[in-house]
Amino acid sequence: MSPSSANFTGKARVALNDPKLRANFRRAMDGLMAKRAAQFTDRAEWTALRARGGEVRTRALAKLPELLERLEQRCAANGITVHWAETTTEANAIVLGILQAAGARKVIKGKSMVTEEMHLNAHLEAHGITTVESDLGEYIIQLAGEAPSHIVMPCIHKNKGEIAELFAQKIPGQRYTEDVDELTAAARRALRGEFAGADAGISGVNFAVAETGTLVLIENEGNGRLSTTLPPLHIAVTGIEKVLEKLEDVPPLLSLLSRSATGQPITTYVNMISGPRKPGELDGPHAVHLVLLDNGRSRVYADPQLRDTLRCIRCAACMNHCPVYTRVGGHTYSFTYPGPIGKILTPQLEGLDCAGDQPHASTLCGACAEVCPVEIPIPKLLVRLRREAVSSASAAVKGGGSGRSLAEALGWRGYAVVFASPPLYRLVSSLLGWFGNWMPAWAPMLKPWTRTRTKPHFAAKSLHQLARERGIDHE
Amino acid sequence: MENRGGSEMRDGVPDKPEAVYFFATCLVDLFYPQAGMAGMELLKRQGIRVIFPPGQSCCGQPARNNGWFEEARTVARQQFKSFPKSIPIVVPSGSCAGMMHEHYPDLFAGQPDEAEAKAFSARVFELTWFLVHVCNLSLTDHGKPVAVTFHGSCHSQREMGVREEPKQLLRSLNNVTVAELGRPGECCGFGGTFSVRQPDISAAMVADKIADIVATGATEILSGDCGCLMNISGALKKTGAPIKARHIAEFLIERTEPGASSPTP
């Protein structure tokens, strides 16, 4: 995506002026926050569980190269073919190659953000392969020709009226109704045929267990299970960071993930995929492939601080609690991962030159880090990325240094000189006290502030001056 | 679950000291000196000698938050120089206190003065936390009945662990009713340079905060952070809402002066 089409600030302005969109997000995020809060009422349990979650993910990342090798071996032993993709282009080519070799023309998809990152559907469609999203939310936005606006609830930006209208337009024979059960039934009817007729199923992976070569996939609709068991071919696609060391690492993360994401103690379906149909078995695909995508993750991994980004288990609690995301919605972020996790992940995957405004789209309020189930210090990483953007010697992040301007560098240099020199600071604060309030509210540097607020008023006498006059002890 | 009491953020509560430093913050110094005077007065009334070092300026947060770490360290070092004695440093802002208490150790990691930075950080206290836990402040209300609401800054709550302390102080005043905000944990949209880098989002956030404040029915909004106050009071004035905004220290001083009257919005 080009930097201009990824203009966060411009898109935010449009989103903020859409009252329906804002209402949809506010209502939905309020609901998700309340559901999550109801799950973690016991603070000691939450603290202990998230510490465990953080430990599991940190340990897996610490041993990542070794665990990935073990995962490949164990998967191979289970009959799962493992493929490695450095880039999204490679990953798309691998998936297309597997489908073409099998003569597949129709694909049913379970929910997968990594395939969104790859723009896989468009790639397959361009090669004559039909893809149908089977997760209800993904199905809706596919009908609408849109991208997900949330990583767990992809069509959260739409209310039921909008969905009713869409279904009436796009599903043959469907009348306009806002009855949620009827709408769900319509999607279910349409999807049943797609499952039965699919040549292959493509899914994401929540956790890949190195110890046993197991792919863990959680969901609520049964579409994930159907996508991965009904068609003769299953291709699972995920990022290299999703690996866990042991099977016993799975339960604490499942608990954290479902409770943080949707406020459920556990999801309706927990799929543990450990290979294709074995001789004598009655169901399951005949072949299972696992595609492991890097797409910049190795570079994130190489930096000991930025590596924390990769702990993410994609629960979306950070965006549900983000005061910025709640107001601008997911599409404003332009890339696959919106909200706080997107603000730290996207600039690292796409480059600071491309998504450099994202780390600044935060007040650093810390609501995200407070609820993160694996303790990712998101505000600290936002500041780190801001630093990389203006650092002349930055090599840690793609596009590092691209946000540096001479004017800004001089401005901060001036700030440091004045605020580190008591005589200069005294002079400047006196000048501001005398003349600062003369600056008109329409002055260009004040305008962004004064459009919705009155101008701040410099005190006639600073506290330094008052303290001197009133004889407050100075040492 | 996230409502952790402030005292849990620290290893323990120190004994009430004979003297403390007062770090005013640059916003208080330049825009809200009365808040600083009130904060110092509250401490003095507890029999504590308050020292206001004239070399102090800013915690360095604006530079650090924008990624200019060397510039932030330069400004921080000026504070190390200005607060040399090993006595507590009390700050009438959870955000600036958070910068010094929570972020200096990271900012100075690997620097020659890392140990000095850590020792400085450990001495930093947020004002209302200090008044409640260290001073066990008890207040006598001399004002008329009034309904107020309180906005806790994000950094005071999440970095300094200051949650109930300010409201505890307000509730101890007989004639003051504390009306809770609907969303006490939600950011007001200030965010320092965020407010000018993302003015539209910031404006939407403060508009929602003001609606929340108005809905409480309070005639006064108090906060322990002057950044939030500048944002909230500026937006309140622009909308013409008859609600007064000021630092909690000023309010506490006014209420506890014998002969105090009810504040006029």
| Interface predicted TM-score (ipTM) | 0.94
Please give the distance of CA A50 from its chain centroid, rounded to a whole number. Answer: 19
CB A232 within 8 A of CB A196: no
What's A118-183 look like in SS3? Answer: HCHHHHHHHCCCEEEECCHHHHHHHHHCCCCCCCCCCCCCCCHHHHHHHHHHHCCCCCCCCCHHHH
Dihedral, CA of residue B223, residue B225, residue B227 and residue B231, to nearest 10: -10
Q: Measured between beta carbons, which residues in chain A are less than 8 angstroms from residue B107?
A: none
Side chain identity, residue A370: E
Nearest CB among B4, B106, B238 relative to A452 is that of B238
Alpha-carbon distance of A429 to A424, in angstroms, equals 8
> What pLDDT is attached to residue B6?
44
Burial class (CB in 10 A: 0-12, 13-18, 19+), A53: buried
Alpha-carbon distance of B162 to B90, in angstroms, equals 14
Pairing of strands B124-126, B49-51: unpaired
Count of beta carbons in the 10 Å neighbourhood of residue A448: 17
Q: What is the pLDDT of residues B5-31, one digit of tens each?
A: 444 456 689 999 999 999 999 999 999
CB B128 within 8 A of CB B164: no
> What pLDDT is attached to residue B12?
81
Nearest CB among B30, B70, B187 relative to A363 is that of B187
Which run of H or of E encompasses A194? Answer: helix A180-197
Closest alpha carbon to A372 in A10, A93, A127, A46: A46
Nearest CB among B28, B75, B199 relative to A463 is that of B28
Please give the distance of CA B35 from its chain centroid, rounded to a whole number. Answer: 10
**With an 8 Å Cβ cutoff, is B226 touching chain A?**
no
Count of beta carbons in the 10 Å neighbourhood of residue B181: 18
pLDDT tens track, chain A, 475 positions: 444 456 899 999 999 999 999 999 999 999 999 999 999 999 999 999 999 999 999 999 999 999 999 999 999 999 999 999 999 999 999 999 999 999 999 999 999 999 999 999 999 999 999 999 999 999 999 999 999 999 999 999 999 999 999 999 999 999 999 999 999 999 999 999 999 999 999 999 999 999 999 999 999 999 999 999 999 999 999 999 999 999 999 999 999 999 999 999 999 999 999 999 999 999 999 999 999 999 999 999 999 999 999 999 999 999 999 999 999 999 999 999 999 999 999 999 999 999 999 999 999 999 999 999 999 999 999 999 999 999 988 789 999 999 999 999 999 999 999 999 999 999 999 999 999 999 898 888 899 999 999 999 999 999 999 999 999 999 8
> What pLDDT is attached to residue B261?
55
Can you list the residues of chain B whose pLDDT is less than 50? 1-8, 262-265
> What pLDDT is attached to residue A445?
86
* B contact residues 7-66, partner A, Cβ 8 Å cutoff: 24, 26, 28-34, 36-37, 40, 49-55, 57-58, 60, 62-66
Q: What is the pLDDT of residues B50-86, one digit of tens each?
A: 999 999 999 999 999 999 999 999 999 999 999 999 9
Q: Search chain A and give the residue with CA nearest B154.
A: A365
Please give the distance of CA A75 from its chain centroid, rounded to a whole number. Answer: 27
> What pLDDT is attached to residue B9?
58
Q: Measured between beta carbons, which residues in chain B are less than 8 angstroms from residue A391?
A: 67
> What pLDDT is attached to residue A345?
98
Count of beta carbons in the 10 Å neighbourhood of residue B84: 12
Q: What is the pLDDT of residues A8-42, one digit of tens each?
A: 999 999 999 999 999 999 999 999 999 999 999 99
Alpha-carbon distance of A208 to A413, in angstroms, equals 48
- A316 three-state secondary structure: coil
Pairing of strands A287-293, A233-239: parallel
Nearest CB among B66, B195, B204 relative to A16 is that of B204
Structure tokens of A268?
Answer: 């309706």
Distance from CA of A210 to the nearest CA of B (A): 34
| Helix%, strand%, coil% for chain B, nearest 5 | 50, 10, 40
Asked if B189's CB is within 8 angstroms of A429's CB, the reply is no
> What is the interface size between A and B, counted as CB pairs within 8 Å?
202
Q: Search chain A and give the residue with CA nearest B25.
A: A463
Asked if B191's CB is within 8 angstroms of A365's CB, the reply is yes
Structure tokens of A440?
Answer: 């008109």
Q: How large a percentage of chain B has pLDDT more than 70?
A: 93
Asked if A449's CB is within 8 angstroms of B195's CB, the reply is yes
> What pLDDT is attached to residue B74?
98
**With an 8 Å Cβ cutoff, is B190 touching chain A?**
yes
